[in-house]
Copies of this chain bind each other. A is one copy, B any other.
Amino acid sequence: MNQLPNALQFSHLLLKEAVSTGDQVIDGTIGNGNDTLLLAKLVGENGTVYGFDIQQQALQHTISLLEKNLSGLQNVQLYKKSHAEIDNVLDNNVRISAAIFNLGYLPGGDKSIITKSTSTLTALTTCLKKLQVGGLVVIVVYYGHPGGKKEEESVVDFCQNLPQKNFAVLNYSFVNQAHEPPFVLAIQKLK
């Protein structure tokens, strides 16, 4: 058989399961735009992807990637803002089928600019509030970089303490690797 999906591949498998044509979804860390592109294809022209990143470089990469691969950006709304501001930016009645976060730094960018616990937990809380029943918040946790371990602990702690009546939290990780590979946390809203 093929190799077991790595964390990034598994996060995409989950998004493909969770997202349908016409859905509204959030990319909390657009980075180089790979998740944004996948989500834009999944929601189609009648859906909406809301994308957030604080770095101009991330927005430029993403716009360029989307222009190359889609006929236009009509179903993607990008914000040069922290994901901590999702709740301020989006209309109160927006309901999402999925959100994706890739924690850490922008690949190829300034490694000192990293996602941090406080804003990440604020963003996760907003996404869970906006999540439809059955929907998923998917987090790819990179933690090998300076500051990464602290954020990882906060996020894992946050997830472990979500009430099991309302949420199921899956941890998908490779456990015999010396180089601290990313792992996936997937939060499904049960009711």
> A134 at interface (Cβ–Cβ under 8 A)?
yes
Pick from A53-61, A102-110, A173-181 the stretch touching chain B: A173-181
* Whole-angstrom CA separation of A186 from B1 in the bound complex: 13
Residues of chain B contacted by A94 (CB below 8 angstroms): none
**Which B residues are CB-close (under 8 A) to A163?**
176
Query: Which residues of B have CB within 8 Å of A173?
Result: 170-171
Which chain B residue has the least Cβ–Cβ distance from A178? B164
Give the size of the chain A interface in residues (CB under 8 angstroms).
Answer: 33
Measured between alpha carbons, how far is A165 from B142 in the docked complex, in Å? 21
CA–CA, A57 and B172, complex, Å: 35
A63 to B: closest C-beta gap in Å:
29
> Is A176 a contact of B188 with CB atoms below 8 Å?
no
Contact in complex: B176, A3 (CB < 8 Å) = no
Q: Which residues of B contact A175 (CB under 8 A)?
A: 156, 159-160, 169-171, 185
A-B contact pairs, 27 of them (CB 8 A): A1-B17, A1-B18, A1-B97, A1-B135, A1-B136, A2-B17, A2-B134, A3-B134, A3-B168, A3-B190, A4-B136, A4-B168, A4-B170, A159-B175, A164-B177, A164-B178, A167-B176, A168-B176, A168-B177, A169-B175, A170-B172, A170-B173, A170-B175, A171-B172, A171-B174, A171-B175, A172-B172
